[in-house]
Amino acid sequence: MTLVTRHARPVIAAALVLTLFNLLVFAAGEAPWRALVTGLEGSLGTAYGLGQVLYKATSLAIAGAAFQVAYRAGLFNVGIEGQIALAALAAGVVGARLGWAPAWIAVPVAGGAAVGVAAGWAALAGWLRVRFGAHEVITTILQNRLADALLPLALAHGLGETGVRTRDVAASAAIPRLSVLSHALAGSAASFAVLLALVTPWLIDRWERRAKVGREVGLVGLGPEACRAAGVPVSSRLLVALTLSGAVAGLTACGAVLGYKGHYELGMTTGVGFAGIAVGLLGRGTPLGLLAAALLVGALQQTGLVLNATVPKEATDVLFGAVILAVATTGRREVTR
Amino acid sequence: MRIEARGLTKRYGDVVALDDVSAQLTEGRITALLGENGAGKSTLLRLLAGLSAPTSGELVLDGVARARVSPAEARRLGIGVVHQHFSLVPSFDGLKNLMLGDEPVGPLGVLRPGALLARAERVMRDVGLEVDLGLPAEALSVGERQRLEILRVLVRGATTLLFDEPTATQTRAEAARLYAVMRRLADDGATVAVVTHHLDEVSAHADEVVVLRRGARVFAGEARGLTTDELARLALGAAPPPVSRPPPPVDAPVVLALDALGAGRLVDVSLEVRRGEIVGVAGVDGNGQDELVELIAGLAAPARGRLSLDGAPLDGLDVAARRSRGLGVVHGDRHALGIVAGASVHDNLVLGELGGDEAARARQRLVASGASPARLDVPISALSGGNQQKVVLARALGRPLRALVVAHPTRGVDAAAAAALRARLAEVALAGCAVLLVSADLAELRALSHRLVVLCRGRVTAALPPDVDEAELGRAMLGGAAA
């Protein structure tokens, strides 16, 4: 492959994606270029739109980091979706009972509940893997279905205000919105949980590079047999990786429940976990890559919502798929044996 | 077909794998490509087969010069490669493996294996290859699997056969059989090239030889009349010093003791290795050697028997605990159990012992290993097999050792690196470590060991002195078994 074609590939990919988008818009009966401009204005062109993109990117970056933690160990955590949902319920339920506590207690306790529940839920899959050899892809998919069934059950039997949502969390357990910084962001869902999205991938990266256990997790992912032969506790490292992956997934709930809605309702986090897997794969194992991927996907989703009135939101889903394919193919290195 | 390489150079990043090499392969002749690990033999073979493109230089195929040849073109021109690592589907029988990727189909896409089977049988008859095409590949021995690979290449019409280290893990008898097949192919007019680092094979079987050293061609010409000593000087530059066995320990206490140890294929193995002693375990591969090493290492639990180090039982202790008692293990399967291929040399040097004064330990071990390039930050996969093995051994030797168990330390390793590795083992024993050496290389066992035990069908069937007659040792290894 020559230098020219190597550098031309991302450009070609971007051009193809844009063309596809315009075709979809045209098919929906709208003026192609205008729709794109409207969509971009609505997502990146206004302070409110930017706030919405930040809100979405916050969840996506954390969910992507959760995926990467497991992926490093050679584990494919498909259960992030369910882990986030259970964590969101936990944040809502615990957050609503913290009226007595000041914010410096209430926020960490509600967030900790979310993290703990999600970590425990993921650890179950990890235990099944190391104890019985049950593959985590299968078990986490099944756990997602289980979570789907458990959530309405829990809300209907004691944990919910109604059958579909929890009570509102205490004011002290809420994470302040970014709109306190600027009135331009008024009404936007972005909160200070965005700091979690900045810090989490970076902390995980440090842990994987510097800490003994973190490095062993990565080495186990590269060569489990050699690690076992060298005395690395492979089972324990796999368990740690999947549990931590779940814990990070649980953090995602903070932005949604404590930073935005103020309660948990059914379906509130739907899709975040799965989009997070895509973000985790697009991010290519670096914190900056993860943030860039989260912003890209977040902007795409927001653009879809802006255009929803005229162009079906599904058009942006198609676009999302196309972007993933484009990034995956342009980033492919020349295969050498 | 006549293949000529003119001034081939191949660079990977800033590493020059092959530097301005010219060579030719002729019909009816066997050309050996000889050199140490990392000398560029396999790279040259890959360029000749169109599997990778040269950075500069050209190939002349039947008089037509080309800057690059695609794998498909190479195949159309009748160039076939028999790779070192087989590409057979284990559960498929021989015929299915022959068909895979080139299925003979009728009008409606229905498989028509009949004609292919007939062709395969004709080729087998002509060339003298015997493979049972009805058995799944996993049921075949290594030699049979290799013959199946060769058959696959031939059935697809190859007239130029390139063998990449075909004898790396074979016994001498198997290798001789393979060269007989090559000779018949060459006599029928095929062009045959074989990559090897076994000097004796070149002087015994090749017509021509191309000797590479560090990517450069140092010799090309008739192989007849060249002695192994002359070839060694060409390939290595200078002959490595012979390994001298350390003096046998006198009245040394027993360090490593196996008492009626058994699990799986292994039946009641009792062994004692004394301080400073090297005990060699001889045997045909697959007679319980892997199980023995895994039991001692703590990777598998014994079903019966006891294991002790310095009189204290090791049973129930895990790998790390055994290591801290002073047990070092180097497994035979370097790729699966020795190294983490995707990790750096640094991480591989301290695998399982991260933390603490890790950086200092890694540096110290790197220096002691003698691996080249002497760099910690490169991925270990960038090192040649011999250098990877030096890293693995340096990790095992990097702490105070009471006993060392090593399996096949020089398998697939070139002569210079093998000599260095053997010298390290002798040093370790001299320093008082008890060494259990499992190897399929009889010359190595005889040169290093103070005494030999023979493992056959999971049992220790004989205990012999190292200077035992080779025929007697061979009989003991086969143990009168039909295998």
What does the DSSP assignment read for A225-241? HHHHHTT--HHHHHHHH
Which residues of chain B have a CB within 8 Å of the CB of A337? 46, 51-52
Separation of alpha carbons A223 and A234, rounded Å? 10
Strands B254-263 and B304-309: antiparallel
Single-letter residue type at B112? R
ipTM of the modeled complex: 0.83
pTM of the model: 0.76
Distance from the Cα of B464 to chain A's closest Cα (Å) equals: 31
Separation of alpha carbons A216 and A222, rounded Å? 10
A229–B320 C-beta distance less than 8 A: no
Strands B459-464 and B451-456: antiparallel
* pLDDT at B174 (0 to 100): 78
* Tokens found for residue A73: 């160990």
Whether B443 and chain A come into contact, CB under 8 Å, resolves to: no
Least Cα distance to B483 among B289, B293, B287 occurs for B287
Note whether B402 and B252 are within 8 A (CB): no
Whether A229 and chain B come into contact, CB under 8 Å, resolves to: yes
Please give the order of strands across the beta sheet that includes B312-313.
B266-274, B254-263, B304-309, B312-313
Nearest CA in chain B to A229: B337
The answer to whether residue A335 is domain-embedded is: no
Separation of alpha carbons A279 and A289, rounded Å? 9
Distance from the Cα of A40 to chain B's closest Cα (Å) equals: 41
The answer to whether residue A178 is domain-embedded is: no
In tens digits, what is the pLDDT along chain A, a chain of 337 residues?
455 555 666 677 778 877 888 888 888 888 878 888 888 888 888 888 888 899 999 999 999 999 999 999 999 999 999 999 999 999 999 999 998 989 899 999 999 999 999 999 999 999 999 999 999 999 999 999 999 999 999 999 888 888 889 899 888 888 988 888 888 777 788 889 999 999 999 999 999 999 999 999 999 999 999 999 999 999 999 999 999 999 999 999 988 999 888 899 998 899 899 999 999 988 878 899 899 999 988 988 888 888 887 778 777 788 888 877 777 676 554 333 2
Which residues of chain A have a CB within 8 Å of the CB of B339? 223, 226
Q: Which residues 6+ apart lie within 8 Å of B328 measured at CB? A: B396, B397, B399, B401, B403, B404, B405, B433
Separation of alpha carbons B134 and B95, rounded Å? 7
Whether B343 and chain A come into contact, CB under 8 Å, resolves to: yes
Whether B338 and chain A come into contact, CB under 8 Å, resolves to: yes
A227–B299 C-beta distance less than 8 A: no
Q: Pick out chain B residues at pLDDT < 70.
A: 13-15, 37, 169-171, 238-243, 478-483
Considering its fold, how many domains does chain A have in total? 1
Residues within 8 A of B (CB atoms), A 182-211 only: none
**Cβ-count burial A292-316 (b if 16+ within 10 Å, e if not):** bbbbbbbbbbbbbbbbeebbeeebb
Note whether A195 and A120 are within 8 A (CB): no
* Tokens found for residue B24: 């030719």
Least Cα distance to B322 among B332, B331, B312 occurs for B312
Whether A97 and chain B come into contact, CB under 8 Å, resolves to: no
B331–A231 C-beta distance less than 8 A: no
Please give the order of strands across the beta sheet that includes B459-464.
B327-330, B403-407, B434-438, B278-282, B451-456, B459-464
Distance from the Cα of A230 to chain B's closest Cα (Å) equals: 5
Least Cα distance to B411 among B382, B449, B437, B373 occurs for B437
Which residues of chain A have a CB within 8 Å of the CB of B317? none
Which residues of chain A have a CB within 8 Å of the CB of B355? 212
**Residues B311, B313, B319, B320, CA torsion sign:** negative
Single-letter residue type at A136? E
At residue B451, what are phi and psi to the nearest 5 degrees? -150, 160
* pLDDT at A337 (0 to 100): 29
Note whether A182 and A50 are within 8 A (CB): no
Note whether A40 and A180 are within 8 A (CB): no
Note whether B404 and B428 are within 8 A (CB): yes
The answer to whether residue A336 is domain-embedded is: no
Note whether A96 and A88 are within 8 A (CB): no
At residue B267, what are phi and psi to the nearest 5 degrees? -120, 115
| CA-angle at A117, arms to A56 and A148, nearest 5° | 70
pLDDT tens, residue by residue, B36-90 = 767 888 889 989 988 888 999 999 988 888 888 888 888 888 999 988 777 888 8
Whether B395 and chain A come into contact, CB under 8 Å, resolves to: yes
Distance from the Cα of B159 to chain A's closest Cα (Å) equals: 24
Separation of alpha carbons B255 and B253, rounded Å? 6
B395–A219 C-beta distance less than 8 A: no
Q: What is the DSSP string of A100-138?
A: TS-HHHHHHHHHHHHHHHHHHHHHHHHHHHHHH---HHH
Residue in A216, A219, A226 nearest the CB of B336: A226
Note whether A116 and A90 are within 8 A (CB): yes
Please give the order of strands across the beta sheet that includes B191-196.
B79-82, B160-164, B191-196, B30-34, B208-213, B216-222
Residue in A215, A223, A337 nearest the CB of B341: A223
Separation of alpha carbons B252 and B277, rounded Å? 8
Which residues of chain A have a CB within 8 Å of the CB of B52? 336-337
CB-based burial label for B465 (10 Å; 0-12, 13-18, 19+): exposed
Q: Which residues 6+ apart lie within 8 Å of B437 measured at CB? A: B278, B279, B280, B281, B406, B409, B425, B444, B445, B448, B449
SS3 content of chain B, % helix, strand, coil (to 5): 35, 25, 40
Least Cα distance to B339 among B390, B298, B290, B302 occurs for B390
Which residues of chain A have a CB within 8 Å of the CB of B323? 231
Note whether A117 and A150 are within 8 A (CB): no
Distance from the Cα of A139 to chain B's closest Cα (Å) equals: 27
Whether B355 and chain A come into contact, CB under 8 Å, resolves to: yes
Residue in A226, A336, A337 nearest the CB of B351: A226
* pLDDT at B480 (0 to 100): 46
Containing H/E element for B22? strand B15-25
Residue in B46, B299, B342 nearest the CB of A229: B299
| CA-angle at B242, arms to B239 and B247, nearest 5° | 165
The answer to whether residue A270 is domain-embedded is: yes
Separation of alpha carbons B178 and B185, rounded Å? 11
* pLDDT at A1 (0 to 100): 46
Separation of alpha carbons A258 and A172, rounded Å? 10
Residue to test with chain B: of A213, A216, A237, most B Cβ within 10 A: A216
- Give the structural domain span for A299: 3-173+187-329
Residue in B52, B323, B347 nearest the CB of A219: B347
Whether B176 and chain A come into contact, CB under 8 Å, resolves to: no
Separation of alpha carbons A213 and A220, rounded Å? 10
The domain that contains A21 carries what CATH number?
1.10.3470
Single-letter residue type at A255? G
Whether A336 and chain B come into contact, CB under 8 Å, resolves to: yes
The answer to whether residue A8 is domain-embedded is: yes
Which residues of chain A have a CB within 8 Å of the CB of B365? none
CB atoms within 10 A of CB B357: 9
- Please report the number of interchain residue pairs, chain A to chain B, with beta-carbon separation below 8 angstroms: 57
* pLDDT at A92 (0 to 100): 94
B51–A230 C-beta distance less than 8 A: no
The answer to whether residue A181 is domain-embedded is: no
Three-state DSSP at A291 gives: helix
Least Cα distance to B269 among B458, B475, B478, B434 occurs for B458
Whether A235 and chain B come into contact, CB under 8 Å, resolves to: no
CA distances from B395 to A229, B390, B439 (A): 12, 9, 20
Length of chain B: 483
The answer to whether residue A7 is domain-embedded is: yes
Residue in A212, A223, A336 nearest the CB of B340: A223
Q: Which residues 6+ apart lie within 8 Å of B82 measured at CB? A: B146, B149, B150, B153, B161, B162, B163, B164, B166
CA distances from A311 to A36, A42, B68, B299 (A): 11, 14, 50, 60
Whether A29 and chain B come into contact, CB under 8 Å, resolves to: no
The answer to whether residue A334 is domain-embedded is: no
B323–A231 C-beta distance less than 8 A: yes
Containing H/E element for B79? strand B79-82
Least Cα distance to B454 among B481, B425, B479 occurs for B479
